[in-house]
Structure 1
């Protein structure tokens, strides 16, 4: 007996299981075999910035008060609002207030967190806002002159400014630093060598800050002032243009874009929602795992194609020899089963080299 489906199904399943096992050892979990295929075929990779390209351990670099407010009062109120949320930027603000011994007891009403924008609350009858420039200045209409805004951008020098306003008046700006992960440019260069033709960064930061980060990291393109729906739009536009897109993110606001991409990857320390939405989850926040993921996916694709080609060719030969009477059905069956076992065993071999070409120190 000679049957194509036996060898194809068995050897293919074993190859995928071996790849999943090796992927787990290398630091990532793949939720289905098709995502290996998608990862191998992708030509564009899109990164969120905060927590993905950066270390996700932001710190307060500077606190600047405006319109007759005191610096300490700006930091105290910001910490009072931010202490309710587990976002890295919120932790940075709260930690800074703690370090300086600024008491920030709750004096406000219930707070409202606006995803990817900021926080809204009420303090002694006044409406209080803290968040991005887009949220505070554009969406909420807080008045500020172009000269003042330019001065804030110049002062930020690549940091991310956090705006605090009370009753429509700007009261302070907190400049947040979030350094890039070590060796990020080497990782992106290696991903290009592995076949990615375009590397894109999307961020909710202002253009000046995003431009500096993009230049240092070495991405091909970037877009700033991105809301969750904007990230979805960019992913859709890239895919409509014929690109197969990998989206890499970690936050709640990345989840819509993760679900729209050809294949998506969530960082190890990402939110539960992001990890649920993603097709692949990294065990850690080490982006070198993306290199191993790409290599493993490409190696699996090549091995599967080789296995299919060999199975079809060998079984076709057995059928031809059997039909022509050169071999008996018993010999044909033995050879068929032997080939199935052999190629299945071959598919348990390691896909990745024992050491990565990029040092992780």
Structure 2
């Protein structure tokens, strides 16, 4: 690619791409390509000027080399990146706003009054018809008020007032539609699939391959807790599939051979072999957009209250108009009241505030599936943390393998990795990575793997039963034993590590010691949450009492619970809610899913189990837990802005009514000030909520 550098400073380049015209697709392709580079931290591509601003870390020459190697033709950009891009949408609505403004004020300058009167009369038909339809259905709502104001102005031949009212209503409609579509698009893109690898069935083997290598007709295996990556048909197996992402229905459905399954749904129980029908992600994206727009997920209760209040105020505005006529017998003063209504601003500003908050959350690497969940976070006073992979780092590491029999360390680790690689958990990933680092090959050598949630894994290797998991699972559920000669070794296992137990033929074969270090920011995050309004911080873990106590003390939680099962977490959340508390649950594993679902707001870690992300209402990046604080501050500020908007709308419009009735302002000025204030409040509602100084450094 040919380009020139327009401006540069350390860690930042602004370049101009030398080409005649940049299309939306080309801008999206370049942006995607640069974002995929490891040393690029932020990218903005401007298609109008063919410029790009690139923030990077490392050496300048590396970025220049990347740019020189780029070409639109060679960049293998995923189909969904282009099909779901919001770039064209933004430009379309910008042009609509500019065009509407230019035409409105241009007509005032260049068209004679009689022509403007005809145009205004024709345009008024749409608004008057909406009002008539509302009345025909027995409803006194906002369209009735708009229609009355416009029709009275036209009847009095006050075309300037009618034109101004319709212009400002039109601008408001465009801004609301734009903000809504952009927020829905951003949300849908964040919910789109990001499955990099899948298990491909080839002869009698399961092979882990890139998802891009899968073709229609291939057979793939989906294990419990994993997302189904493609549309297809079940060819073998049985499972319970959670289809909430497509249908909004939280109850899982049973799927057996011959039945269809869809990309983006999650396998809650069982194991499925699926014959792939389609490998593109566009249908998944379209289904999500449809689901969001058809559901009430985006609606917070404050939005619903605003809409109902807006419609309930319409009769009072009409009564106020009648009262003004009876008291003053002055059409001008009466019309001044009619030109002002509270409902327009309420209906416009509140949804924009919520949708803008969702957008801003996305800018801070937080995916929120609806406004009501931000409201739940704002109201929350209790927060429950899972420990492993949440309060502790998402990348635990194997520090030692302690053997208790004939199997050497390398063989024990190889067997463990062969079993663990099938299931999504940070501990499992640590085992698989450790085997990879030691170059231990672990091709499929076992029979079907059975996963018992929150306990462990069971399978057979060379007709020998192999289990791996917690001490409770291995020693109590599976009744495995320790060879007496190794009892001392077992009793002196290092207490600072988490332990994963491997048993073969009911005999303990090895204990894998995994370092699960606490996140550096955990204690600071807890303090910040309490400052933001959280009064109770709880930690729950399946680890031993000793380990849990040590972590709880360092983090500074109010309560902790050790050796808990998934149902224990969910029961605790339900108990807190029954006592009148608003609860947030944060976790990353399959075993956290019931509690995530039960909480007022469930938050999943982005690199945790897919079922946790699917069930959760909010997802945060795994890099820094302080994003939870950012989320809480953002939610608090959203409600604060909504309440301030209420006060502004009531104060401004009440003042305009008083000025109109007393004859201090004319109807034209009343309409102009009302609609201008509505527009300004709406525009203010689109601004970011978090001041730079309050954003948590990530």
Match of 1:4 in 2: 342
Find the partner of 2:383 among 18, 40, 45: 45
Equivalent-residue separation in structure 1 for 2:555 and 2:590 (angstroms): 23
Question: Is the partner of 1:171 in helix, strand or coil?
Answer: strand
Match of 1:348 in 2: 686
Find the partner of 2:586 among 248, 273, 281: 248
Match of 1:293 in 2: 631
User: Residues 41, 131 of structure 1: CA spacing in aligned structure 2 closer, same or farther, 3 A cutoff?
Assistant: same
Find the partner of 1:192 among 518, 530, 543: 530
User: Residues 121, 82 of structure 1: CA spacing in aligned structure 2 closer, same or farther, 3 A cutoff?
Assistant: same
1:36-115 matches, within 5 Å, as 36-66=374-404, 70-100=408-438, 102=440, 104-115=442-453
CA contact (8 A) 1:111 1:119 kept: yes
CA contact (8 A) 2:368 2:618 kept: yes
Equivalent-residue separation in structure 1 for 2:489 and 2:654 (angstroms): 74
Q: Give 1:217 shift.
A: 2.1
User: Residues 240, 68 of structure 1: CA spacing in aligned structure 2 closer, same or farther, 3 A cutoff?
Assistant: same
Equivalent-residue separation in structure 2 for 1:187 and 1:21 (angstroms): 23
User: Residues 99, 26 of structure 1: CA spacing in aligned structure 2 closer, same or farther, 3 A cutoff?
Assistant: closer
Find the partner of 2:509 among 166, 171, 185: 171
1:118-137 matches, within 5 Å, as 118-137=456-475
Work out whether 1:266 is the aligned partner of 2:266.
no
Q: Deviation digits for residues 64-108 of structure 1, max 9, x if unmatched?
A: 222565444433432332233343322322333444455545443
Work out whether 1:230 is the aligned partner of 2:557.
no
User: In terms of Rg, which structure is larger?
Assistant: 2
Q: Give 1:346 shift.
A: 2.2
User: Residues 346, 50 of structure 1: CA spacing in aligned structure 2 closer, same or farther, 3 A cutoff?
Assistant: same
Find the partner of 2:553 among 203, 215, 221: 215
Q: Deviation digits for residues 264-298 of structure 1, max 9, x if unmatched?
A: 21212123322221111224432121111111111
CA contact (8 A) 2:629 2:696 kept: no
The CA RMSD measured in Å over matched residues stands at 2.7
Q: Give 1:322 shift.
A: 4.5
Match of 2:287 in 1: none
Work out whether 1:206 is the aligned partner of 2:530.
no
CA contact (8 A) 1:129 1:166 kept: yes
Q: Give 1:191 shift.
A: 0.9
- Compare 226-235 and 316-325 and name the one that shifted more: 316-325
Match of 2:298 in 1: none
- Compare 262-271 and 290-299 and name the one that shifted more: 262-271
CA contact (8 A) 1:18 1:348 kept: yes
CA contact (8 A) 2:394 2:622 kept: no
Work out whether 1:302 is the aligned partner of 2:631.
no
Matched pairs, number: 359
Q: Give 1:175 shift.
A: 1.4
User: Residues 257, 343 of structure 1: CA spacing in aligned structure 2 closer, same or farther, 3 A cutoff?
Assistant: same
Work out whether 1:337 is the aligned partner of 2:675.
yes
CA contact (8 A) 1:200 1:222 kept: yes
Equivalent-residue separation in structure 2 for 1:319 and 1:153 (angstroms): 81
CA contact (8 A) 1:55 1:179 kept: yes
User: Residues 12, 256 of structure 1: CA spacing in aligned structure 2 closer, same or farther, 3 A cutoff?
Assistant: same
Equivalent-residue separation in structure 2 for 1:151 and 1:46 (angstroms): 36
Normalising to structure 1: TM-score of the pair?
A: 0.89
Long gaps (5+) in structure 1? none
Work out whether 1:156 is the aligned partner of 2:516.
no
CA contact (8 A) 1:269 1:285 kept: no
Long gaps (5+) in structure 2? 1-338
Match of 2:367 in 1: 29
Equivalent-residue separation in structure 1 for 2:391 and 2:611 (angstroms): 19
Q: Give 1:263 shift.
A: 0.9
Match of 1:277 in 2: 615
CA contact (8 A) 1:52 1:285 kept: no
Q: Deviation digits for residues 167-204 of structure 1, max 9, x if unmatched?
A: 32222221111112222211111111111111111222
Question: Is the partner of 2:467 in helix, strand or coil?
Answer: strand
Q: Give 1:212 shift.
A: 2.0
Q: Deviation digits for residues 129-187 of structure 1, max 9, x if unmatched?
A: 11011211222233469xx9997576332321111222322222211111122222111
CA contact (8 A) 2:601 2:617 kept: yes
